[in-house]
Structures are given as C-alpha cells and as structure tokens.
Chain A
Amino acid sequence: MAKKKEEQNSFEYSYKRLEEILEKLENQGEENSLEDILNYYQEGLKLLKICRQKLSEAELKIEKINAEELK
C-alpha cells in the first residue's frame, strides 16, 4: 500500500489514467452523466498538466551503486 502513493505520482500512472479517461469518454459517453463527464474532464486537464510537466522538467538522474558485500 505504501507503494500506491508513489505510483500515483509517477508518469506511468498519470499517462495510463489519461488514456483511460479518454477511452471512457469515447466509448461509454452515452452512459456517463454530465457530472461524470465534467469530472473526467477536470481530472483529464489535471493529468495533462502533470504529464507535460513531468516530461519537460524531468532531468535524467544517474546514481552509482557501490559494490556491497553479498552473503
């Protein structure tokens, strides 16, 4: 469960959720209430911002791991 929050902040989560929302809007539109649609829309806008930000602001991080003794 501790991993859950980390996942939600990841690019992967945001992007996949975005695709999901688009699919929901496209395929189940007739079943969605106006409120649902507006909620999806708002979430979509938020996720778009997050995804763009993550891609444009990301700087490659490289960490060197020192050899450790293994049993």
Chain B
Amino acid sequence: MTEPITISELTRELKALVESEFKFIYVIAEISNFKRHTPSGHCYFILKDESSQINATLWSFRYNHLNFNPQDGDKVLIKGKVVLYEPRGTYQIDVTDMQKTGLGELQAAFEKLKDKLQEEGLFESERKRKLPEFPEKVGIVTSETGAVIQDFKNVTKKRYPVAKILLFPTLVQGAGSAENVCRAIRQANNAKYNLDIIVVARGGGSMEDLWTFNEEIVAREVFNSRVPVVSAIGHEPDFTICDFVADLRAPTPSAAAEMIFPDKQELLERINQIDYYIKIYIKDRVEVYYSSLENIENSYFFKKPVDMLNEYKMRTDDIQKDIERITKEKLSRVKESLLNKEKLLNSISPEQTLKRGFTYIIKDGKLISRKVKVKEGEDITVRFYDGDVKSKVESL
C-alpha cells in the first residue's frame, strides 16, 4: 500500500503526466457546438468522432489566424496540446492551429471521378474539336454579376469586337448550381442561337467554391455539347473536371477571350500587308505584260512589213536618183556633141572660104555650081565674104 494522497496532489500528478505526454499533438475530428464568446472572442467547442468527444478551446488571437470560419460539422485537422484544468479536474484540447480536412475528401472524390471519366474516354484528345478561327457568336455560361463577364467582355472588346456574345446566366456555386450550369449549356446548344463556341467560366475560389465544375453531371453536359466548349474556371493552377472534358482549357476567363478571339491589331496589320502585296503583284504583272508587248512590237517578224516598206522606199529613192543622174549625163553628152558639131559645122562653112577670097554664084536664090546652069545675058549674084555683087553673064 502506498501513502494516500490528496485530490490536489493526484490532479497535479495527472496534469504533469498528461500535459508532458500530449504537449504537441495532431488530431482529426469533427467540430460541434462551436461557440465564440463575445466580447473576448475566445472559442469553445467540442471535437468528436463517431464514438468519443473532447472539449476544446481556441483563443481569440489564434482564431484570427485561421484561413476559414469553423462551423459545426467541419472536419478538421488540429494542432494543439492537452491541458488539464485543475479546479474541475477536466481536460481539454488547447488548439493552436486548425485546418479543414474536408478538402482531402473532396480531393479524393475529384481523383475518383477523374479516373472514372478518363476510363470512359471523356478526356480523349482525339475528340477535342478545333475552334473556329473567327468566332462570330460566342455563348458564355457564367454568373451575370461579378468580374468574370466584365473581364471577358473587356478583353473581347479590345481584341475582336466583331464577335457577338450571348450571356447565359447561371449560378456558379452552391446548391443547385451544377444543375443550373447544365441547363445553361443545354440552352446554349439550341440551334437557334447558332453559336460557334460556348465558354463555361467562373472566377477564382477555393476548391469547394469551384466544386460545381467537378460535378459529374456538368462534366457529362460538357461532353455532350454539340457546340465546342472552352472551360475557364478559376485561376491558373486550378484544374477542374470540366477543364479536362472541354475542347479547350483556359487558365482564366480573360485568357479564354484571348485564346478564342483573333487580335484586331494583328488582323489590321495582316490586312495592310495583303493590301501591299496585292498592289505590288498587280503592278508587277502589268509591267510584265507591258514589256512582253514591247518585245512583240520589236520582234523581227512584227517589224518585217515595216522594214520591207522602208526598203522599197529606199529603193525607189535610189531609182529616182539613178534616173536623174542618167538623164543628166545623157543630156550633157548630147549638149557636148552638139557643140562639137557646131564647131565642125563652123569649120566647114563657106564663110571661111569666102574670107580667104573665094566667091560663089547665086541665081534665083540657088547656088550655081556648074557652067551649064547659066546662059548668056542672065543676071547672077556673086557672093563675097562681105556682100553680094549683082552681075550679068557676058559670054560663055
């Protein structure tokens, strides 16, 4: 038998034992009976599982550092220590930090659905459709309030205002949101809207906030969409099941607008380029035609008739010259021979003889060359060089 001890002593010993043994522990539990005292801000609640429970405290300054607001039913992982309250002989957990563990379960559900749908072939890259280069009518399934529609609108306005955007408002979070999103996607598929692309969009948030887009019905609705679907859920690192099924995944709603629409400035530049090339090209072609025309014009065969004509012209000119030359020569020859004849004639004319002292007899204007031509008593004329002398034949 040991010595009896007091309650206080026992309590103190228990306290030392328990507090040294459990001074740094991790505990998984569910919160219930959560109460925050005003004005101190300290929190008192029960941590439990299926068969046990322990009271817990969370001091105000620690509460302020939590990344969530604890509520009854939350599954949590807590860090803390066990303390024993001597006046009452009760023990409780002094919580120093607390995280939700529901995420772990969500993550598991996410992985499970992902595996299942992958198995079924919903993520196959072969079935991803190519988006049109110039979408004209784009439906966006998102909340009609909030930044998403504004961001999408602003980017589209800057890049490609040619497009028309149809907003299919839907809840993007909370009870009934998955069904709501499905309805909006189905509605956007109505042929009367004639959409080129459907964008399913939501801003950033926690995994739970984005959970709607990890629901199987949403995944299947996206899979069944006749119109190609672009998924733009949350921010860059967030992936949802919807992203895997969609034809294209955009990291953010603004990025979706950038990915699906061509850029106006780039297009204008390209158009200017086309303008330039077309004009250069036409100019070149016309020049080619011009120079080939010139070639034809200058070609031997094309020029031949003209050459022939020119040749004939030259030949007629030559002939004319020849004729002129020959005629001239002939004329001068004639002229020369005339002169010669004249000289000759002059040399044989009676004048010269007369000058030497000869005379001749003319009767009745005729030259008398024989004696028999005259009779006695007839008048004759004796012609001297310097004049005539009337005479009479005296005797024969």
Contacts and interface: CB of A to CB of B under 8 A. Distances in A.
Q: Tell me what chain A mostly uses at the interface: helix, strand, loop, or mixed.
A: helix
B282 A62 contact: no
Contact of A48 (B144, B161, B271): B271
B105 interface: no
Given A34-B285, A62-B167, A52 B274 contact: no
Contacts of B281: 22, 25-26, 29
B134 interface: yes
Interface residues of A, number: 35
Nearest to A22: B274
Contacts, number: 98
A12 B166 contact: no
B161 A60 contact: yes
Contact of A60 (B156, B271, B275): B156
A58 B186 contact: no
Interface string A19-49: 1011001100100101001101100110010
A11 B162 contact: yes
A41 B281 CA distance: 9
A9 to B, nearest CB: 10
B85 interface: no
A1 B246 CA distance: 30
Contacts of A62: 153, 164-167
Nearest to B190: A68
B169 A64 contact: yes
A60 B184 contact: no
A68 B187 contact: yes
11 contacts: A12-B133, A41-B278, A41-B282, A48-B274, A48-B278, A55-B162, A60-B153, A60-B165, A63-B165, A64-B166, A65-B168
Interface of A: 10-12, 15, 18-19, 21-22, 25-26, 29, 32, 34, 37-38, 40-41, 44-45, 48, 51-52, 54-55, 58-65, 67-68, 70
